[in-house]
Structure 1
Amino acid sequence: MKFMKIGSRPDTFFTVDATRSITLDVPSDLTIQVNNTKYLLHKFLLLPKCGLLQQLCDSNGSDVQTIDLHEVPAGEEGFELCVKFCYGISINLSATNIVKALCASHFLKMTEAVEKGNFISKLELFFASFILQAWKDPIVTLQSTVTLPTWSENLGMTGRCIDAVATKILADLSTVTWSYTYTRPGFNEKAHKRAPRDWWTEDIADLDVPLFQRVLSMVRSSIPAPLVGEALHVYACRHLPDEAAIESSSSESVVKQREVLEFIVSQIPTPKGSVSTGFLLRLLRQASRLGVSDWAISEIMKRAGRQLKEASLVDLLKLRGSSPSSSAFSEINLVKTMLEHFLVDYRRPSLPETGMTREENGKSDQSLVKVGKLIDSYLVEVAKDANLPVSKLIDLAETLPEEARPVHDDLYRIIDSYLKKHPDISKSQKKRLCRMLDCRKLSIDACMHAVQNERLPLRTVVQVLFLEHVSAAMSISQNVELRHDIKAMLPQMSEDTHRKTPLAPEGKDLVSDKVMTKQSDGRKLAEMSISRESYSRDKRAPHGTAKPTIKEVMEVGKAMEVTEEIDSKSKIRPKGADHVSSRAVTSEIMEEADPKNKVKPTGMPPISHRTTKMGSKLPVQRGS
């Protein structure tokens, strides 16, 4: 910081009962009252330099005069600087008191017209030649103008300091040789040949909101948007406390913090990625606690949603309980709103004039899958909350489009976690939850877990078992051609799919020719037994949620009996598939399809007398 010393006499001011006097052989003939302080001074030293005092003293011809100067800017401190200059007392000028001295000297009219080499001319020389040429000095001067905003603005000091700061920010990095504050972890100034591009952000973060905004508006059109975002991030770290400290803040502090947060949100550049998603989610947490305007919260969620693929699970989980006054599980609504903003931006076509491809604009299919993985991971965690309503879970899970989940293993984990934590939910809620699951998109491990999962509805277990039976048969008998409606129910058996066919050891066949023949015959019987109307692609609702008819259930049950008999001989059943019989399963599904009428297949004896492990031989009774 630059300093200038004026005067050489020692300071001989002393105070007695709120009266400031100066040690001098000549008695005082001028009394000046400034606020609560009385000054006993001398005309012969003050009048030659102060034009205002000349005017006031000429209007009254008495020898001892008393003048009230309550309007002097900077009060006693500014007035005393001017008095000491008139007496030749030594004073030190710097960026911390230059504003007070200039404003007070202009008020007292200490100009060159009154006397050559007057106080204003010396202050202006120091201000222009030293203060404005440095880096930190104009910033400190700007901070001191807060106490005298009108005088500083009218005298041009505020504007000149802002111009000086903006000019240095826009300077070439190789020319930055002045001292600046930079405390980023891992930064070693000696190891860098030139200053980092955001070298200025920490120093200007000390300014109040109006001054910071004016500096930023001067440079934002000439610097990249991410650099503007970094300046806002540093400013937020300086002026916004942690979430835990907000609750202990006073009402005045909360009002100021709310103003800072709304200002930061309004200044975030439009281009995506100007600020990090983690920073936006931190602003969202603080906004919920500070009670900012609905516009600010909506704007934060919109910006965070556009770049949701960059978010982390930890950031999303930190939203929980961010607003004590909000309703329970409101953070799930925030996540859903951000997801909706992401999907709107994802589905919006790229503008041709931008010349950017879909991948360059961040709208690739991988970004959608990544967001889907993030949302599912979030749901796995929140599903462990014992108080979470199933409607909240389903609402967020179904917001994701189908293409965001090429594999439903994470969705199965969500359902399993929720059922494990909520064992007392109703049967209808359990079915509604499981309707989201598409068994065709489960991996082998997930299927093996599902068929042994006692928490799942029986209908879901049957779907998994049926698809596993048919898939296992196809893996053995690749030459068997199934009907198109059955193939539609199966996952694609390609090299890229997650359900690849396991290979037998080299030199060994999977099964003998005899078993292969039985599997082929059983496959044909299964194909013939299923009617053209059953499980057609057109009649199936998304994720296989449509209920089968009575006729379809009976025919699927017959087909499964044949498959069971073949599997019991060839011993290729999926692990865990022996917990229920096909007839018991058929009866259960029929009861779900027609719970009121309790219709049973013609010719089938009661299920209670025919229940056995799947794969055991049962006499098949045919209806007339």
Structure 2
Amino acid sequence: MASAIGIDVNGEESFFVDKQVLSLFSGRLRKLLQKPSESGAIETVNLILHGFPGGAEAFELITRFCYNNGNFQINPTNTCILHFVADFMEMTNLMKLTEKSLDCILYWSWSDVLTALKQCQDCFEAANSSGVLDKILDSLVGRIMSASETSPSGFSPESSALRFSCDTRSTISTKNGCNLAWWFEDLSVLNFDTINKAISCMVSKKLEHASISRFLFYYLKHRYLNATSDEKRQATEIVVDLLHSLDNKCVSCKGLFGILPVSSSLNVSKLCRNRLESMIGSQIDHATLDNLLVPAPYGMMNNSLYDVNLISRFLKYFLNNSESISVSRLKRLGSLMDSYIAEIAPDPSLKPLKFAAITTALPDAARDSYDAVYQAIDMYLQVHPQLSEEEKVKICCGINFEKLSSESCKHLTQSLKFPSRTAIQALIFQNSKLKSLLQNTTNNNLKKFSRHSADNEQHVNLHANRLDLSMENEKLKSHLQGMQCRVMELEKVCRKMQTQLTQVKKTKLSSSSTAGRSLPRLCS
């Protein structure tokens, strides 16, 4: 065949095709075939295509497209790979068709989106540079968020409202419905480059950091399966870096402690180690005693049983954010550290400077009582009788005598294990405390006496006021009685005068009657 051409695809497989048919659709192939053969004779031309997206399988797809004159079914399962090939081979018509298909990504199923994402992963550089990977991830993350918002208590893939979100295969069933982690398993197969892009998309779209954090722990556990040490180390560094980009409050302290021993054995980078320790340290108050009992690094001479230096670094990270730490968190950590120092105190290999550093690491506000610290120091001194006086004094600096009970203080002054200087301090403080107690008692009694005196004075004043009021009432009563007497006297005078007037009237009437009878009758 005069127009036959042999094309080697990525060194995987060779294809003999009609160069005229393929050149009709491929601008890149036309450019490669413009140069005539040196002999000018009709012969088969061989080409090698390096970096061909999708390899031999993808090349076979475009040959079908070309031989069918562009009549080729483009669907969600081949859109992405055809898009990358079209871009590589400069096939304008095919590029337009794949872009049209990508515009309909909203109507793809969850399974279709996953298939497209895996194609992007296999052709990461082409997918990333073309922007197709961003489109696929936007759709994928959008479906995850839509499922969470539509069904807060669980996700149902059969729901009509979410029929394009996923299929039944991608869910993780639980007794109460579908777990919100239904998408974890599907995304756990992504490689490191793709998972970086996926998490960045989730963060930018404001997917809950708690969900992202849980997925990353799941992803790391999945990546550890059947992996080499180098692959485990790389996976650990990637996941720690991604967890560090999240809100630390949403990252499981228990999960971080799970990564810690693995990171030590894998010899991860210093940056990874520092980030892991800072994340743990910032929420060390949520740890348990078992979490803190990390064995000391193996192979060191005269080493202690536990990695006390590691815990000291955790405390420094925690206290670096002291401005945002509540009193309750600080006291919770204080209680945890009291348990920790009690556990490490009997270790005969624990150096005094390390023990002193861990007992004095927290501020006084972290503890209401220093009895537990005293008991741990008492145990340490018992196990380390060979310590010098100076070393003992440094260790005893961890005791705050103001927050030490009288019983502990008394016990200290009578113990021969403690340095004399510390015993004297305890004795002085105990006497000071007794004086203070006595003074407070005296002051309280004086206050009570003062209050009693004030109450008596108030009672006397009240009685005096009542007495004054009584006297005023007596005066008023006497005045009223005098007025009543005067009124009675006036009434008597009035009655006497009324009697006299009546008599006068009778006298006048009698005189008038006698005079009328003595007058002569007038004659007419």
Bin the TM-score by the shorter chain: 0.5 to 0.7
Deviation at 1:363, TM superposition (A): 1.1
Deviations 1:583-622 (A, max 9, x none): xxxxxxxxxxxxxxxxxxxxxxxxxxxxxxxxxxxxxxxx
**Distance across 2 between alignment mates of 1:164 and 1:210:** 18
CA contact (8 A) 1:202 1:235 kept: no
CA contact (8 A) 2:2 2:44 kept: no
**Distance across 2 between alignment mates of 1:325 and 1:229:** 38
**Distance across 2 between alignment mates of 1:327 and 1:92:** 72
The aligned residue for residue 495 of structure 2 is: none
The aligned residue for residue 561 of structure 1 is: none
Q: Which has the larger radius of gyration?
A: 2
**Distance across 2 between alignment mates of 1:403 and 1:145:** 55
**Distance across 2 between alignment mates of 1:298 and 1:154:** 33
Deviations 1:113-162 (A, max 9, x none): xxxxxx65665565554697233433443333244333323443222212
Q: Provide the secondary structure at the position in 2 that maps to 1:387.
A: coil
The aligned residue for residue 351 of structure 2 is: 389
Deviations 1:426-481 (A, max 9, x none): 454345434544567555876797789775567877888999xx9xxxxxxxxxxx
CA contact (8 A) 2:392 2:419 kept: yes
| Corresponding letter in the other structure for 1:214 | K
TM-score between the two structures when normalised by the length of structure 1 = 0.54
Identify if the C-alpha distance between structure 1 residues 156 and 336 changes in structure 2 by more than 3 Å, giving closer, same or farther.
closer
Correspondent of 1:258 among 237, 243, 251: 237
Identify if the C-alpha distance between structure 1 residues 43 and 484 changes in structure 2 by more than 3 Å, giving closer, same or farther.
closer
Correspondent of 1:159 among 98, 117, 134: 134
The aligned residue for residue 212 of structure 2 is: 231
1:444-455 matches, cutoff 5 A = none
Correspondent of 2:332 among 360, 370, 373: 370
CA contact (8 A) 2:223 2:235 kept: no
Identify if the C-alpha distance between structure 1 residues 230 and 166 changes in structure 2 by more than 3 Å, giving closer, same or farther.
closer
Correspondent of 1:337 among 299, 307, 313: 313
The aligned residue for residue 311 of structure 1 is: 287
CA contact (8 A) 2:5 2:44 kept: yes
CA contact (8 A) 1:240 1:260 kept: no
Correspondent of 1:179 among 135, 155, 166: 166
Identify if the C-alpha distance between structure 1 residues 152 and 82 changes in structure 2 by more than 3 Å, giving closer, same or farther.
same
**Distance across 1 between alignment mates of 2:302 and 2:386:** 24
The aligned residue for residue 268 of structure 1 is: 246
**Distance across 1 between alignment mates of 2:46 and 2:21:** 16
| Corresponding letter in the other structure for 1:150 | E
Q: Provide the secondary structure at the position in 2 that maps to 1:223.
A: coil
| Corresponding letter in the other structure for 2:233 | V
CA contact (8 A) 1:407 1:443 kept: yes
**Distance across 2 between alignment mates of 1:240 and 1:140:** 23
Deviation at 1:249, TM superposition (A): 4.4
| Residue 400 (structure 1) aligned with residue 381 (structure 2) | no
**Distance across 2 between alignment mates of 1:325 and 1:94:** 62
Moved more, 120-129 or 420-429: 120-129
Identify if the C-alpha distance between structure 1 residues 59 and 273 changes in structure 2 by more than 3 Å, giving closer, same or farther.
closer
The aligned residue for residue 79 of structure 1 is: 59
TM-score between the two structures when normalised by the length of structure 2 = 0.63
Deviation at 1:388, TM superposition (A): 0.6
1:60-459 matches, cutoff 5 A = 60=36, 63-71=42-50, 72-86=52-66, 98-112=79-93, 127-129=102-104, 133-171=108-146, 172-174=149-151, 175-177=161-163, 178-179=165-166, 181=170, 183=172, 188=174, 191=177, 196=180, 200=183, 203-223=186-206, 227-239=208-220, 249-251=228-230, 253-255=232-234, 257-265=236-244, 267-269=245-247, 273-283=249-259, 285-292=261-268, 294-318=270-294, 320-321=295-296, 328=303, 331-346=307-322, 348=323, 363-364=326-327, 366-434=328-396, 436-437=398-399, 441=403
**Distance across 2 between alignment mates of 1:62 and 1:393:** 89
Deviation at 1:73, TM superposition (A): 3.1
**Distance across 1 between alignment mates of 2:426 and 2:29:** 98
Q: Provide the secondary structure at the position in 2 that maps to 1:32.
A: strand
Identify if the C-alpha distance between structure 1 residues 311 and 256 changes in structure 2 by more than 3 Å, giving closer, same or farther.
closer
Deviation at 1:276, TM superposition (A): 3.0
Q: Provide the secondary structure at the position in 1 that maps to 2:321.
A: helix
**Distance across 1 between alignment mates of 2:195 and 2:439:** 59
Moved more, 32-41 or 322-331: 322-331
Comparing both structures, which one devotes a greater share of its residues to helix? 2
**Distance across 2 between alignment mates of 1:492 and 1:336:** 40
The aligned residue for residue 14 of structure 1 is: none
**Distance across 2 between alignment mates of 1:242 and 1:409:** 47
Give the length in aligned residue pairs: 419
Deviation at 1:393, TM superposition (A): 0.4
**Distance across 2 between alignment mates of 1:207 and 1:242:** 10
CA contact (8 A) 2:243 2:251 kept: no
CA contact (8 A) 2:117 2:133 kept: yes
Deviations 1:191-215 (A, max 9, x none): 36xx74x655554454344433434
1:499-510 matches, cutoff 5 A = none
Deviations 1:528-553 (A, max 9, x none): xxxxxxxxxxxxxxxxxxxxxxxxxx
| Corresponding letter in the other structure for 1:142 | L
Deviation at 1:44, TM superposition (A): 7.4
Q: Provide the secondary structure at the position in 2 that maps to 1:33.
A: strand
CA contact (8 A) 1:240 1:261 kept: no
Identify if the C-alpha distance between structure 1 residues 125 and 446 changes in structure 2 by more than 3 Å, giving closer, same or farther.
same
Deviations 1:274-332 (A, max 9, x none): 323334444555555555555554444444434332222222223x3368789956942
CA contact (8 A) 1:408 1:442 kept: yes
Q: Provide the secondary structure at the position in 2 that maps to 1:67.
A: strand
Q: Provide the secondary structure at the position in 1 that maps to 2:108.
A: coil
| Corresponding letter in the other structure for 1:308 | I
**Distance across 1 between alignment mates of 2:240 and 2:299:** 19
**Distance across 2 between alignment mates of 1:492 and 1:296:** 56
Identity of aligned residues (%): 24
Deviation at 1:189, TM superposition (A): 6.8
| Corresponding letter in the other structure for 2:311 | V
Identify if the C-alpha distance between structure 1 residues 132 and 254 changes in structure 2 by more than 3 Å, giving closer, same or farther.
farther
| Corresponding letter in the other structure for 2:387 | I
Deviation at 1:228, TM superposition (A): 1.7
CA contact (8 A) 2:109 2:166 kept: no
